[in-house]
Structure 1
Amino acid sequence: MTALTRTTVREIETPGGPGRAHIHRPPRPCGTVALGHGAGGGLGAIDLAIAREVLVAAGWAVVIVEQPWLVAGRRVAGRPPTLDLAWVPMVEALLTGRGHLPRPLVVGGRSAGARVACRTAGALEADAALLLSFPLHPPGRPDRSRADELALAPDPSWVIQGSGDAFGTPDEVRPHLPRGTTLLEVPGAHSFPGSSRAALTEAVTSVAGMLPG
């Protein structure tokens, strides 16, 4: 991030209680990327951190959305409908009113956050999506597919998936990609290790060059 990037934290009321938006705004942003965290929290996950760094440097305002369950100190995420009910008003609040962030809007996140982004992309009229470690199925349970959620991703979208992801390898995810979605394979598992930093940076940099800005 550049020295001119303004970082703020905004508390936003939702039907599930207050959430927090961690806003990283460069001068004259070309658009907004809203990213959600996984079911374990992890606001500082390496893929979220790299996405924030790369996209802010590319001129995008990046918001890491902290769900109300995490703000409240709970250790377990709520059910999917409660996550969606919190995510939508938080993102809408960032795009309206005084000091609002600009469109186009890219939604996304890692793992559970990627699922939320897909399910709510239509309601938010998102222009694109960046999906990190999309959890196609629980580990060892390919019969419990979430391909129906991935199918809701807007056109265009990008999926960055670890080569050894137990929640869905790139080969498992690829047949379910909707139209306009590109998959980028990165060495690593569902939670990327530090050794994946260079490959993640390369992948997100590639996506940044293709976003509709």
Structure 2
Amino acid sequence: MTEVVETDAGPARVTWHPAEKPRLVLAVSHGAGGGIEARDLRALAAALPAHGVSVALVEQPWRVAGKKLAPAPKTLDAGWRGIWPAVAAPGLPVVSGGRSAGARVACRTATELGAHAVLALSFPLHPPGKPEKSRADELLAAGVPTLVVQGGNDPFGRPEEFPEAPGKTYELLEVPYGDHGFAVPKRAAITQERALELITEGVAEWVGSLG
């Protein structure tokens, strides 16, 4: 089921992959360079409903409008605030999620929107080649249980570059050999299919651990 939701940033689109007996909603959005067809988002939408999680894939207004470049962070946040009533409508706890720029949005707005937890896929810790421009403060300020899923070869931040999580602020799941889109080289010790299984299995286990 797909619904169009009006936001202050324009119309957004939510595509639902419902669980038969849902106990949680995972609302997850795309990054600044792609849409909900991203391999990790598709994999989660296919796998998580069997674990009692209804998945809402959210397309930000700029994508719905057919634009190629993402707007400023405050506009992304406005779009995310606008879709929140729709994803909260089932009356279940909502895990706020996103990949790349969408992960930053989820972290920035989690406390304000009352998110149950945050799923940060390919969190862009810094621009490629510029580790001094860290965005760790956004991640550490999420204020709710957070899982970071990061490719081992992500140029936007490899797992070992992430700061220690004071007070278990967040957990980190590494996808070996994965790049920013979780693509793994053909010569890697794991297949592309296995890389996606690591993501879906890890997220399902984490979601199952949430109170």
With structure 2 as the length reference, what TM-score do the two structures score?
0.89
Note the alpha carbon deviations across 1:86-119, whole angstroms, 9 max, x for none.
1012022332xxxx32321111111011000000
How far apart are 1:57 and its partner, in Å?
1.7
Following the alignment from structure 1 to structure 2, what is the Cα–Cα distance between the partners of residues 93 and 165? Answer: 32
Counterpart in 2 of 1:32?
25
Q: Which runs of 5+ in 1 are unaligned?
A: 1-7
Note the alpha carbon deviations across 1:124-180, whole angstroms, 9 max, x for none.
111111111000000011111111111122432111100010000000114367734
Aligned residue among 134, 147, 158 for 1:145: 134
Counterpart in 1 of 2:86?
93
Following the alignment from structure 2 to structure 1, what is the Cα–Cα distance between the partners of residues 166 and 68? Answer: 31
1:210 partner SS = helix
How far apart are 1:202 and its partner, in Å?
2.5
Matched residue type, 1:65: V
1:39 partner SS = coil
Aligned residue among 172, 189, 196 for 2:161: 172
Change (3 A) 1:18 1:134: same
Following the alignment from structure 1 to structure 2, what is the Cα–Cα distance between the partners of residues 130 and 178? Answer: 18
Following the alignment from structure 1 to structure 2, what is the Cα–Cα distance between the partners of residues 21 and 113? Answer: 14
Following the alignment from structure 1 to structure 2, what is the Cα–Cα distance between the partners of residues 110 and 49? Answer: 12
Counterpart in 2 of 1:207?
203
Check conservation: 1:31, 1:101, Cα contact below 8 A: no
Change (3 A) 1:132 1:139: same
Matched residue type, 1:101: P
Counterpart in 1 of 2:188?
none
1:93 partner SS = helix
Moved more, 158-167 or 45-54: 45-54
State percent identity of aligned pairs.
47
Q: Which consecutive aligned stretches of 4+ in structure 1 deviate over 6 angstroms post-superposition?
A: none
Aligned residue among 77, 86, 103 for 2:92: 103
Counterpart in 1 of 2:182?
192
Change (3 A) 1:40 1:46: same
Following the alignment from structure 1 to structure 2, what is the Cα–Cα distance between the partners of residues 178 and 70? Answer: 37
Following the alignment from structure 2 to structure 1, what is the Cα–Cα distance between the partners of residues 76 and 149? Answer: 22
Change (3 A) 1:22 1:177: farther
Following the alignment from structure 1 to structure 2, what is the Cα–Cα distance between the partners of residues 69 and 36? Answer: 12
Counterpart in 2 of 1:23?
16
When the two chains are superposed, the root-mean-square deviation of aligned CA atoms in Å is: 1.7
